[in-house]
Amino acid sequence: MNMTESNISIQGVNLLDIAHRYGAPVYVYDADVIKRQYDTLLDAFSGVNVKIKFACKALSNISVMRLLRSFGSGLDTVSIQEVELGLYAGFEPHEIIYTPNCVSYEEIQSAIGKGVVVNIDNLSVLERFGHDYGNSVPCCVRLNPHILAGGNHHIQTGHIDSKFGISIYQLRHLLRIVQTYNIRVNGLHVHSGSDILDAGVFLQGADIIFDAARNFSDLEFIDFGSGFKVAYKDDDVTTDIQDMGKKISKAFNEFCDEYGKKLELWFEPGKYLVSEAGYFLVKTNVIKQTVSTVFAGVDSGQNHLIRPMFYDAYHRIINISNPEGTPRVYSVVGYICETDTFAWDRKIAEIREGDILCFLNAGAYGFTMSSNYNSRLRPAEVLVYQGKDILIRRRESLDDILSTQIEAVF
C-alpha cells in the first residue's frame, strides 16, 4: 500500500475510488503482494525440490486460484467442493491435495474418482481405503506429531487433543494396516497449526516425520503443511522465512540422502500468501457516543469478517477518507444484531459518518468465512492486477438468498 495525504492506493489504484466504484463493503486484493509472498517462499527453499500448494480455504475465489496457478502453485483443499473449484480453475488433478477430516467415506471416494492426491487422517478410513483400492491408488497419510506449536489455541492442530491426523503413537497400527492391504503410501503429511515463529517447531515435526518415513519405501513427497506467521501489527514478530528455509532444507536434504531418494518437499500456505494482500473497505454509518465509549458503526459485521470475534484477531484499521485527521479513540462495531466488535478503544484518524475505513491483512479467512447472517448480503471482491482493478465477484442480491429457497404453500 502506498499512502500519501491525499492518496491511499495499491499499484496506483486509489482505494477510495474502488469503494466508490464498486460500493462498500468490498474486499480488495493486491496481486503483486501475492506474487511477492509466493516468490519469497520459493527463494527460501531454493535448495530443495519444493512444491507450494495454496491452501484455498483462506481465499477460494477462482480468479485468485488461477493467479496462483499462473505462478506455478498447486492447491491444498479440504472439501470435495474445494476440489471441484480447483479443477474448474484449471488445476490438474495431480496438482491438488485433498486433506479432509470427519467427512463421509463417499466424499473421499469422489475425490479418488477425480484423480487428486488423497490425504487420509483416520485409521478406520485407511483400512476401508486399503480394502477397496489396495495398491492400485496411492495415498498420503496425515500424522499428528503431538506438538503444541504455541500462539492462539484456536489455530493449533498438532496437539494431543486435536481431531486432525493419525497419532504418531499409532504408527505400529498404521503400518499393520498398510502391510495387510498392500497400500502404496506415497506421501506423509504433518501440520502443527498456524502462526509458527520458530523453525524449531518445524524441525521438531521433521524429526518425527523423518523417523516415521523410514517405514515407507514408496514415498514421493513429505508435506509440512504451513503455519508461517504474518504481521498484523506494526511491531509484530513474524516468521523468518529465510532462516526457516535454510534450516529445514538442510535437514530435508540430509534425510533424502539417508532415504536414498530425492523427495519433493511440500508446503500448504494460505494466510502467508494472501493475508497481507487483502484490504476490506467499509463505510461508516453512524458515530455513537455513550457514557463510556465512542462507537464507529459500519455497514458490515461478523457476517463479512468474523476473525475478530471468532479468533480474537487483530486487524489494523485506517480511515482512508480522512487519513490526516486528528487521532481519536473509537470502538469499531458492526451492524449485526449480536455483540459484533471489530476493535475496542482503537486510535484512528477522526471518523465522520460516511467515511471509508480500511481493514488491513484481510486477504485470508475474510470472504471465505462470510455468511448471510441477519439475511445480509455478502460483499464484492476486486483484484488489482497490473495496475487495473478487476471485479472478481459481484455483490450479492436478495435474489441470491432466495435462489435456494422453495416456497411452501399454506
Whole-angstrom distance, CA of residue 183 vs CA of residue 179:
7
CA distances from 308 to 193, 313, 315, 343, 361 (A): 18, 4, 8, 8, 12
Residue 161 has phi, psi (to 5 degrees) of -95, 10
Residue carrying C-alpha cell 494466510? 271
- For residue 214, the SS3 value is coil
Q: Is residue 336 within 8 Å of residue 285, measured between CB atoms?
A: no
CA distances from 132 to 114, 117, 184, 226, 254 (A): 16, 16, 13, 31, 36
List the catalytic residue out of 139, 256, 337, 358. Answer: 337
Residue 225 zone, left/alpha/beta (φ > 0; ψ -120 to 50; rest): left
Whole-angstrom distance, CA of residue 237 vs CA of residue 235:
7
Residue 337 a catalytic site member: yes
The amino acid at residue 293 is T
Whole-angstrom distance, CA of residue 251 vs CA of residue 246:
9
Q: Cis peptide before 25, with omega less than 30 degrees from 0? A: yes
CA nearest neighbour of 98 among 140, 52, 51, 38 = 140
Whole-angstrom distance, CA of residue 367 vs CA of residue 62:
13
The amino acid at residue 79 is S
223 grid coordinates: 508435506
Whole-angstrom distance, CA of residue 197 vs CA of residue 48:
21
Q: Sign of the C-alpha dihedral, residues 14, 15, 20, 26?
A: positive
Residue carrying C-alpha cell 495525504? 5
Contacts of 142 (CB under 8 A, 6+ apart): 99, 119, 120, 121, 164, 165, 166, 189, 190, 191
Task: Report the 10 Å Cβ neighbour count for 32.
Answer: 14
Q: Is residue 162 within 8 Å of residue 145, measured between CB atoms?
A: no
Q: Which residues are catalytic?
A: 337
